[in-house]
Amino acid sequence: MSKNIPLTLACGDYAITRPLIDGVVKPDGIDLTVLTDMDSTTRHWRFYNNEDFDMAEASCSTYLVAKDQDKPFDAIPVFLHRRFRHGFIFINTQAGIKEPKDLIGKRVGIKHWQVTAILWMKGILEHEYGVPHRSIDWYQELDQDIPVELPRDIKLQTLPNNKSVEKMLSEGELDACIHSEIIKPFLIGDPRVARLFPDCKNEEINFYNKTGMFPIMHITGIKKEIIEQYPWIPINMFHAFNKAKAIAMREMVNPRIVPLAWYREAWEEQEELLGKDPWEYGLSEQNRKTLENMANYSYEQGLIKNKLKVEDLFLDVSQGRKRGEALQV
């Protein structure tokens, strides 16, 4: 009979998680059930509100709120999802928006104020392009994952159930929209909708070259009750995630596994721009800077009331100097 601890993990089905999903990588001492059949918005809400899973890939922005409000969650520094977000700001082509500063005084739709992608772009617009988030009239489609009472000078309205920010943008009820996905009107070529940054890739490269930050979207959360019962689980899961990623990265070197004509060239370009492992886990100097920046954005945008320190956000997954080297990847 197995003496392993049965645990659930909800996460996306990615190349870097598939060795865990398929059981190729087995966390030491854990019988892992991996749940992937849900969108990220649902997964985040179910983890932070229902505590449906022992562990989950979850919104980093909402995690900051959870820590600020002393909710029963901790996290390990495993960042399964990162993404540059300049290409996720869409405009109505009749709204007179030619550059970021034209957003000042405009009506901008979002999923909700707490979404990590939106946290990033509000902060980037403010600090890199001179567009204060308090200078915009905001309209959110969903309630926040964890309720937060925002400062009164933030102009935010919640839309009724029959309203969609995508449709409102197309029809001119909104001037712009910041989203975590490529919105449908843009995908189908609706001429009323365009990107704020037509050359978004170049904007993102410039942002990275200037700041050194590849935006973190998700952390890996663990319920506090699990850690209290089994304090060894965070370290073992951290190593399992690293092993899974190492397998994926080795496989991804082979251009035959992806049906793209110039996949290998894209891989080499990424290495040249972002280094060998842009998805690095742990609290490296670069990851610390990125997380500190997020915490500052969250504080500025009224999501958290206290200035959080990175070392207080994540569980210690170290094993001591020069120990456990066989587990390193």
Q: Which residues of the chain have pLDDT under 50?
A: 1, 326-329
Residues 86-211, CATH architecture: 3-Layer(aba) Sandwich (3.40)
86-211 shares the fold of 5-82+216-327: yes
57, 80 in Cβ contact below 8 A? yes
Q: Which of 252, 218, 270, 205 is nearest to 41 (CA)?
A: 218
Query: What's residue 327's pLDDT?
Result: 46
Which residues are CB-contacts of 294 (< 8 A; sequence separation ≥ 6)? 60, 61, 64, 116, 119, 120, 123, 216
Q: Which CATH superfamily is domain 5-82+216-327 in?
A: Periplasmic binding protein-like II (3.40.190.10)
Tokens 């990275």: give the residue: 208
Query: What's residue 325's pLDDT?
Result: 53
179, 88 in Cβ contact below 8 A? yes
Rounded Cα distance between 315 and 77, Å, is 8
Across the chain, the runs of DSSP E, i.e. the strands, are 5-10, 30-35, 55-59, 73-76, 89-92, 107-110, 137-140, 156-158, 176-178, 193-195, 218-223
**DSSP-derived pairing of the beta strands 176-178 and 89-92:** antiparallel
The structural domains of the chain, with segments of one domain joined by +, span 5-82+216-327, 86-211
Q: What are the strands of the beta sheet with 30-35, ordered from one edge?
A: 30-35, 5-10, 55-59, 218-223, 73-76
CA angle 122, 123, 129 (to 5 degrees): 90
Rounded Cα distance between 174 and 193, Å, is 11
